[in-house]
Amino acid sequence: MKSYPLVDLRQEYLSQKKEIDMAIARILNKASFFLGEELEKFEKEFARFIGTKHALGVASGTASIKLSLQALGIGRGDEVITTPLTFIATAEAIIAVGAKPVFVDVDGETLNIDPNKIGKAISNETKAIIPVHLYGIPCDIDPILAIAKKNKLYVIEDCAQAHGSTYKGKKVGSFGDTGCFSFYAAKLLGAYGDAGAITTSNKELYKKISLLRNHGRSAANKNLHLVIGNTSVLDSLQAAILAVKLRRIKENIKKRLSRALYYNKLLSGTEVEPMILPSGTLPSLYVYVIRVKKRAALKNYLAKKKISAGIHFPISLHLQPSLKSLGYKKGDFPFSEKAAKEVLSLPLHQFLTKRNQEYIVSKLTYAANLNK
């Protein structure tokens, strides 16, 4: 039986094999793995793509959030507002710098942080908001920026799932003080190992993060350490691979969106709710997410038909054992909890054919009818 993976990293590699192999061989032959022209070239191209003055390659998406917080001077005793419907890394980065995550429930439709609920969560300790552009759907950024401005808060955008998503004609990652990207292998722009980037147009922040990602090392004297930093520079091998993949990103984004629209068309009038793609935004979709009631039964049935489905994410963060000390309880964020029970991600990648999608939807709607 043919199988239908969520993403197809092997086909993606094969589609650019020659260029990727050449990039890898070039780095190995140069034997130059750290900082330098390969990294700078990727950073320039990525900054141009997002529309910021600077980009800094870092070790991972998690590191990009942590470094942003450190560069903004956020730490012990501070609070940072974010969504409970995200990958654990968003909260982990806040805790890693000694600050406390404060969750605000999501909008029931977009599943992104609800700007109307942010005001009530602001205290004297609040220093920043981290909106997460979940699944590649841009947050409603304008009201978030307005609240931040009024309350003198920083905005750190978590763009780990939204490489190239646009909101009112501008790319996410260009609105906040910094934009944080993950290039984890399965992300829309993926390296072959852990990797990430920070975008910013603020020169001071750019300089601070340059220090913080590399042991606080002075540019003029490598044995002089100016601040306590991290081992967090994106290595040249991954930067060179990412530069090759970046050339295809616009095409990849377009193909994913057209497949999402085709899913929506196939699902309209069925038992299954299609994904909501808000107007005024051009999402760069990381995953295609439907909402279903009897999810476990559906997922099992799809697995029997060799169709992989994912869950992003099955547990709202405020109910994670590792975040228990924050003191939240069941019922605190009802929209996030409901979404965590219902969301199901279907295969979405640039190699998916219309026929593949028709097959996936026929199996899905069959199972949904059985499990009404």
CA distance 354 to 281: 24
The 3-state DSSP composition of the chain as helix, strand, coil percent (nearest 5) reads: 45, 15, 40
Query: Which of 70, 357 has the CB closer to ligand PLP?
Result: 70
Contacts with ligand PLP, 172-211, as mask; x by CB under 6 A: ----------x-x---------x-x---------------
Nearest in space to 164 (alpha carbons), one of 156, 173, 155 = 173
User: Considering only 141-149, 157-165, 262-270, 362-370, which stretch makes contact with ligand PLP by CB under 6 A?
Assistant: 157-165
Q: How far is the CB of 199 from ligand PLP (least distance, A)?
A: 15
Find how far residue 215's CA is from the centre of its chain. 26
**Residue nearest ligand PLP (C-beta atom):** 61
CA distance 239 to 46: 10
Q: Which of 80, 147, 160, 292 binds ligand PLP (CB under 6 A)?
A: 160
CA distance 140 to 278: 10
Query: Which of 312, 363 has the CB closer to ligand PLP?
Result: 312
Contacts with ligand PLP, 227-266, as mask; x by CB under 6 A: ----------------------------------------
Q: Beta strand 166-167 with 281-282: parallel, antiparallel or unpaired?
A: antiparallel
Residue 157 three-state SS:
strand
Neighbours of 116 (CB within 10 A): 13
Contacts with ligand PLP, 87-106, as mask; x by CB under 6 A: x-xx----------------
Q: Are 311 and 344 in contact (CB under 8 A)?
A: yes
User: Considering only 6-14, 30-38, 105-113, 156-164, which stretch makes contact with ligand PLP by CB under 6 A?
Assistant: 156-164
- CA angle centred on 338, ends 315 and 3, rounded to 5°: 65
CA distance 124 to 79: 9
User: Considering only 60-68, 148-156, 233-241, 276-284, which stretch makes contact with ligand PLP by CB under 6 A?
Assistant: 60-68
Taking CB under 6 A as the rule, does residue 61 contact ligand PLP?
yes
Q: Which of 52, 62, 178, 284 binds ligand PLP (CB under 6 A)?
A: 62
Q: How far is the CB of 59 from ligand PLP (least distance, A)?
A: 8
CA distance 27 to 14: 20
Nearest in space to 95 (alpha carbons), one of 105, 103, 85 = 103
Taking CB under 6 A as the rule, does residue 50 contact ligand PLP?
no
End-to-end CA, the chain:
27
Query: Which of 154, 184 has the CB closer to ligand PLP?
Result: 184
Q: Which of 68, 86, 126, 232 binds ligand PLP (CB under 6 A)?
A: 86
Give the footprint of ligand PLP on this chain (CB under 6 A).
60-62, 86-87, 89-90, 132, 158, 160-161, 182, 184, 194, 196
